[in-house]
Structure 1
């Protein structure tokens, strides 16, 4: 991998190029380059930190599933490339076909959301204090993360799933009494989180904003499509939405009733 260095004092640009080629060939290149104009083309590509994070996520996902690292990397690249219509891309910032910064951000988000769907609870080991950081602390879009947790019915703080051993509740972050109570809940007027019983109790024992700051979270508003998707996930919620759905209120928005 070549890199350059600007020596302003001596008015030189040095190109460092790893090679085993004979010195004669290097001198020929040097003479040839003297006649070239220099053009600087900034590339808004994936950063080194993003690339490293991708490989950390690959490794954790691979270990959880019992997959090989290379297989996992290629699997995610193929899946992401299909969804976003990006072919033959590289995760190396120095490659011509490197992901852009925005694409790399989307790729990281994609890996995290896919891991949630596949019941893989990701953590990142902080290199400074060796503390295990939950993925919600570094996810690019925290609201998309919360929505993924709502869909899967897992705690957005700790990742515990809803099952016979653990209950995950739908937390109305805003007071449902402000809309008249649960009978008037369409799911469209208040914000939501999905929390296990432990963290559901905690959010009601401390100021809610303090809870959000402690766990790096943001509650989310839902649209009609999301509420519809969550009807089976949370069967005791969204009572007014269910009533209106039966009455044909969402015809044209929702194709069929569950």
Structure 2
């Protein structure tokens, strides 16, 4: 991998003793350059460990399922779409060109996130099976709230309060800060009321989002 900026240095971690690290650099260190970058202060470094794990079969399967949904809707060829999203990911995260056959776990998560966000942004529908295979650690919940998609099935949705508005609370004057919300289609919203919020959350393994200033700003609510 080539350095991405003038302040990048590469090497291997040789040993650790408490908070002291021993690093073998790939090239000689130019102390004058380091001091210039530090601008007269004690140099501060950031340690990043390269991800040596290779893309998992589950990641590869999810990526190509998402890509197939995208191509079925837009008419792009799979090879064209794959090249486009790799290019976007490389530019977004300042990566060197990579292959989906042997990229790292981190790179795979990056391109999957880029593809999911792109499909949300341009209202490209997910097939139900693909939707269900997206792991919870991707920011699906917030994307659903922003784009009004059901967090369970991906269909058009409304934002649903965990504790129903209207039960002693004025819908027009409600203060959203501190409330917990989900994005649910009409069918799943009806089911939520029918079986109760506790059973509904346990059934679908949903973690509702608590509205703070940042969340309110992202979804266009008054805080």
> For this structure pair, what is the TM-score category when the shorter chain's length is used for normalisation?
0.5 to 0.7
Structure 1 portions without partners, runs of 5+ = 1-41, 124-131, 162-167, 232-236, 242-258
> What TM-score do you get using the length of structure 1 for normalisation?
0.58
Alignment check: 8 A CA contact 2:55 2:105 kept = yes
Question: Which residue of 2 is the match for residue 155 of structure 1?
Answer: 150
Give, in whole Å, the separation in 1 of the partners of 2:162 and 2:60: 35
Give, in whole Å, the separation in 1 of the partners of 2:178 and 2:134: 26
Question: Which residue of 2 is the match for residue 30 of structure 1?
Answer: none
Question: Which residue of 1 is the match for residue 73 of structure 2?
Answer: 64
Shift of 1:142: 5.2
Instruction: Select the residue among 180, 193, 200 that pairs with 1:211.
Output: 200
Of 171-180 and 43-52, the range deviating more from structure 2: 171-180
Larger-gyration structure (1/2): 1
Question: Which residue of 2 is the match for residue 114 of structure 1?
Answer: 118
Give, in whole Å, the separation in 1 of the partners of 2:126 and 2:162: 25
Give, in whole Å, the separation in 2 of the partners of 1:71 and 1:90: 14
Give, in whole Å, the separation in 1 of the partners of 2:87 and 2:169: 48
Cα distance 1:154–1:210, how it changes in 2: closer, same or farther (>3 A)? same
**Does the alignment pair 1:79 with 2:88?**
yes
Give, in whole Å, the separation in 2 of the partners of 1:213 and 1:110: 29
Let me know the Cα RMSD of the aligned residues. Answer: 2.7
Structure 2 portions without partners, runs of 5+ = 1-50
Shift of 1:215: 3.2
**Does the alignment pair 1:224 with 2:219?**
no
Partner SS for 2:95:
coil
1:176-201 CA deviation, whole Å, 9 max, x = no partner?
A: 6899654241x330221112222211
Partner SS for 1:189:
coil
Partner SS for 1:192:
strand
Give, in whole Å, the separation in 1 of the partners of 2:138 and 2:88: 22
Give, in whole Å, the separation in 2 of the partners of 1:172 and 1:101: 35
Question: Which residue of 2 is the match for residue 9 of structure 1?
Answer: none
**Does the alignment pair 1:88 with 2:79?**
no
Aligned residues: 172
